Amino acid sequence: MTERHARALSAESAGDAPGRSRLDGRRILVVGGGQRVVDPVTDPVGNGRAMSLLFAREGAHVVVADRDVLSAEQTVAMITAAGGLAHAIQADISREDDVQAMVEEARVALGGLDGLMLNVGIGVGDLNLEGTRVPDWDTTMAVNLRGPMLCCREALPVLDDGAAVVFVSSIAGLQAGSRLVAYDASKAGLAGLMRHVALEGSRRGIRANTVVPGLVDTPLGRAASGGRPSRDRTRIPFGRMATGWEVAYAALFFMSDESVYITAQTLAVDSGLSGI
């Protein structure tokens, strides 16, 4: 059998590439831009934090929203230390009032909105159907599917014409794998929500697309591996998990005008795991 070699890290993979002014002047709300802490010494960057940092590096003014406001503020501090512009908001998107207040505060802080990045997702409860309890199902759906719907419902009327909405889903929405039934179902449901947002937004040139990460080496990913060790034994075509930066660059493409004629589409960032 041919030995499997890990795909080498590029400067983009490691988060070391310089900004290229791909989002100059843009005003973007990143929902889920904080980061869970598993080990503060060894934690890699998470998807939401990488997106927030990258968007700012590319010239955007960013509002970082998160249920954990201290984590959002840490992301903002990293952005401002690098010379970027950012503002933190505390919001729990499972709460309708929080979503309404978040969108309005972001619009005022930025002087408008032309980008909405939805990086949210929880997985709670026990495995398989027999372990699925109604409260866990409802909690998961409230955050993973109803929350993004509320964000889009509130943001769409105030987004500038030509704005971009980007969802973060999971390959668990394409194929069964997490064994958390509500998580898989909620991530699959995002596809329908995204297509509807794309339909409504098309009247004003607003695009909606989805990034679908595979296995990613993030603090949340490491926590998931702790509960399901088989995750780390998955044979990945490129021989390693993705980095949060690699997911962020896919989101950057959809957020930028480089994808100006692309809407209602899904991009898997999984080294082919869902297709090979």
Query: Residue 178 — pLDDT band, cuts 50, 70, 90?
Result: confident
Range of the structural domain that residue 70 is part of: 27-269
In 70-158, which ranges are E strands?
85-90, 113-118
Can 261 be counted among the known catalytic residues? no
Q: Is 274 contained in some domain?
A: no
* For the chain, the helix, strand and coil percentages under 3-state DSSP, each to the nearest 5: 45, 15, 40
Q: Is 169 contained in some domain?
A: yes
Give pLDDT, residue 173.
92
- Number of domains observed in the structure of the chain: 1
* CA 272 to mean position of chain CA atoms: 19
Residue 32 has which token pair?
């889920």
* CA 243 to mean position of chain CA atoms: 13
227 contacts: CB under 8 Å, gap ≥ 6: none
Q: Is 61 contained in some domain?
A: yes
CATH number of 182's domain: 3.40.50.720
Active-site option among 167, 183, 245, 254: 183
Q: Is 122 contained in some domain?
A: yes
Residue 9 has which token pair?
């890290």
Q: Is 11 contained in some domain?
A: no
CB 27 within 8 A of CB 114: yes
> Which H or E run includes 168?
strand 159-168
Q: Is 276 contained in some domain?
A: no
When pLDDT is averaged across residues 107-116 and rounded to a whole number, the result is: 98
CB 15 within 8 A of CB 53: yes
Residue 208 has which token pair?
């909606």
Q: What is the pLDDT of residues 128-174, one digit of tens each?
A: 899 999 999 999 999 999 999 999 999 999 999 999 999 999 999 99
| CA dist., res. 22 & res. 258, Å (int) | 8
Give pLDDT, residue 154.
98
Give pLDDT, residue 40.
87
Q: Is 197 contained in some domain?
A: yes
pTM confidence score: 0.94
Give pLDDT, residue 223.
75
Give pLDDT, residue 211.
98
Q: Would you mind telling me the total number of residues written for the chain in this entry? A: 276
Q: What is the pLDDT of residues 199-227, one digit of tens each?
A: 999 999 999 999 999 999 998 778 776 66
Q: What is the pLDDT of residues 186-203, one digit of tens each?
A: 999 999 999 999 999 999
CB count in 10 Å sphere of residue 121: 25
Give me the residue label for tokens 């927030």: 52
Q: Is 156 contained in some domain?
A: yes
Give pLDDT, residue 227.
63
